[in-house]
Structure 1
Amino acid sequence: MAITYPHIEESDLTHYISPKGEYQLFQDEDHYAEKVREWGLSSTKEVKKEFWYKDKTYQRLVTIKGYEEFGVSKTFNTLVIEFQDGHLSCILPDYLKDMQSSNFGKEDKVNKADAEERSLSSTRPAEKPKAENIKKAERPKLELPVEKVHFTGIVKQFALSWNHFNEENDEVVVLDQVQIDQENPIDVGIAWCSHSKTLKKVELQLGERIEFDGKIVKKKLPKGKEVEEAFILDEPASFKINNPSKIVRK
């Protein structure tokens, strides 16, 4: 069985996102255990104290020093982690959770290998295109309805999105497995919408399935300023749902 060791900290390689001013500290060990389990970062009897922070070419061991609260109801958290050299950085709980997976980052390495392979194509005989590439190229574009329609979806993530008009971050909700319910259902995949007053009254929870009415348009989710980790998604959020209403939990 292979043993994985952390790399020596090299500050020049790591992109730190420093906390903005003061942040919340843990009151005691019980408070730490409660929050770590709430974030889904530990399910064992003895709560984890160290976590992996991974990049394409290295991995570091970090600890959680505290957390920031944001949103109108202060229900969204950004973790404040400490590297072994003392540097602090902010990261979303879901992103740190993803980093604990042994598969994290492997897709990037595969893409890099594919790029190197393509650079040698001029000196090699032509090969048949991969089946998965053909399938992707043949995927039809969605024909979006113009009128208001009925949707189902799962609450995947609460995040921040940069608003260029008022130059500040807006709260948004990212939805997964979004489907337009009609005679011939349309699978949208990942979509997003503003975390409006209507949605906040419903008090949505991560992972719950909902149904609602709304209009859908093709609009990419802009990244929140200085919150890059907020958009680590399985696929791009290229569709926006406007004015979701009649929200029902399924």
Structure 2
Amino acid sequence: MAIIYPHIEESNLTHYIFPKGEYQLFQNDNHYAEKVREWGLSSTKEVKKKFWYKDKTYQRLVTIKGYEEFGVSNTFNTLVIEFQDGHLSCIFPDYLKDMQSSNFGKEDKVNKADAEELPSSSTPPTEKPKAESTKKGMSDTAPQPSDPKSKKAEQTKIELPVEKVHFTATVKQFALSWNHFNEENDEVVVLDQVQIEQENPIDVGLAWCSHSKTLKKMELQPGERIEFDGKIVKKKLPKGKEVEEEFVLNEPASFKINNPSKLVKK
């Protein structure tokens, strides 16, 4: 059953991030279409004009009013969106793109369901496993292999910072990930040994990010150590469809890094 969001426009339900000052406006319709396609927000012939802004309990229609530029060479953008009630707010292109997916906001519910399915230590084993253990000469108290779901539940306990932070990581590989929005595979960069550098560093493990034009200019290679700034969110890497083995990630990457900037090879 599809989730039905109420049409709510009350301002007190939305956390606005207002533009810092003047921002770039679109020169014309062609300029708008070029930028929207560059951000990956539309792949159709008729470029989309309206997008969904989603929260846990509601969604609102927005339009893209303009964009801010930042970075040393102004190659990074923050979108300025306008709600139907006239309020403006800023958002990263990748985050708005994620909001267009029908699965957006459902991951927390899936993780909760997984946690509820974890076997209880007080649950008695069935007769069949006991018989198999006896045949193999294993005692009832023999250590059991770790449950991958338990590892997943433990991983979700990481408290992610909301603001932009500094990272160090190792380039693991390049992969293809299925994009539900434009129904095609996107190239992504998979990072290993990802650590949030702060007073108390946070070890994230595996994470991924879009292989944007800016990152392609860096000509990253597997095994290289890098550092950069970015925002991290809880988002599992969707597997690509019908791709070669070298572009498949065989380990779970549950975190996504949005708009990495100030990237330096170490």
- Which TM bucket (shorter chain)? 0.5 to 0.7
- Aligned 1:235-246 pairs, distance under 5 A: 235-236=254-255, 244-245=265-266
Distance in 1 of aligned mates of 2:100 and 2:217:
20
Match of residue 204, structure 1, among 215, 222, 227? 215
- Once the 2 structures are TM-superposed, how far is the Cα of residue 48 of structure 1 from its aligned partner? 0.3
For residue 189 of structure 1, the aligned residue among 206, 214, 231 is: 206
Q: Show structure 2 runs of 5+ residues with no match.
A: 125-146, 156-169, 176-187, 194-204, 236-253, 258-262
Cα 1:236–1:83, aligned 2, differ >3 Å: closer, same or farther?
same
Give the direction of change, closer, same or farther, for the CA distance of 1:2–1:113 in structure 2 (3 Å limit). Answer: closer
The equivalent residue for 1:166 is: none
Taking structure 1 as the reference length, the TM-score comes to: 0.57
- Contact 2:206 / 2:255 at 8 angstroms: preserved in 1? no
CA 1:215–1:41 in structure 2 vs 1: closer, same or farther (change >3 Å)? closer
> Counterparts of 1:79 and 1:14 in 2: how far apart (Å)?
16
- In 2 relative to 1, CA 101–215 (structure 1 residues): closer, same or farther, beyond 3 Å? closer
Matches of 1:135 and 1:3, distance apart in 2: 29
The offset of 1:177, in angstroms, is 2.1
In the alignment, the residues of structure 2 paired with residue 237 and residue 49 of structure 1 have an alpha-carbon distance, to the nearest angstrom, of: 26
For the structure 1 residues 212 and 2, does the alpha-carbon distance in structure 2 shift closer, same or farther, using more than 3 Å as the test?
Answer: closer
In the TM superposition, what is the alpha-carbon distance from 1:215 to its structure 2 partner?
Answer: 8.4
Cα deviation code 1:77-115 (max 9, x no counterpart): 000000011000000000000000000001123456789
Post-superposition CA distance 1:111-140 (Å, at most 9, x none): 56789x79xxxxxxx669xx653343799x
Matches of residues 114-153 of structure 1 in structure 2 within 5 Å?
A: 132-136=148-152, 151-153=171-173
Could you tell me how far 1:10 is from its partner in structure 2? 1.2
Query: SS in structure 2 opposite 1:52?
Result: strand
Q: Which runs of 5+ in 1 are unaligned?
A: 119-125, 140-149, 156-174, 181-187, 193-201, 225-229, 246-250
* Partner residue in 2 for 1:18: 18
- The Cα RMSD (Å) is 4.5
The Cα shift of 1:214 comes to 3.6
Letter in 2 for 1:29: D
